[in-house]
Amino acid sequence: MQLVEELQIVPTRYFKKLTGTNGIWEIRVLVATDIFRFPGFFDGSNVIVLNHAFQKNSQKTPSQEISTAETRRKEYFNRKLKR
């Protein structure tokens, strides 16, 4: 996560947009032999809001995790508009 915070250009190995989503990005963290994913989205050009984390067990990101991230993104911006 420090790479995403500090580097101007982060390698896609650690941070990339998930194709076929509504603005969902994913931070990948490798701990020993486990890979953890943190889906999130941008709020402006400098703020990344991370939704949740999960351990990835397959090549493809599970559709339920993408759905959760998109729902939370929508809820976040709806709450922000109401302020």
Residues 8-27: pLDDT tens digits?
778 888 889 999 998 999 99
Name the 3-class secondary structure at 34.
strand
Q: Between residues 82 and 24, which one has the greater pLDDT?
A: 24
The DSSP symbol for 18 reads P
Between CA 61 and CA 8 the distance in angstroms is 25
pLDDT(3) > 80: no
The long-range contacts involving 11-20, CB below 8 angstroms and separated by at least 24 positions, are: 18/61, 18/66
Residues with Cβ within 8 Å of 29's Cβ and at least 6 positions away in sequence, in order, are 1, 14, 35, 36, 37, 38
Q: How many domains does the chain have?
A: 1
Its domain, for residue 74, covers 2-82
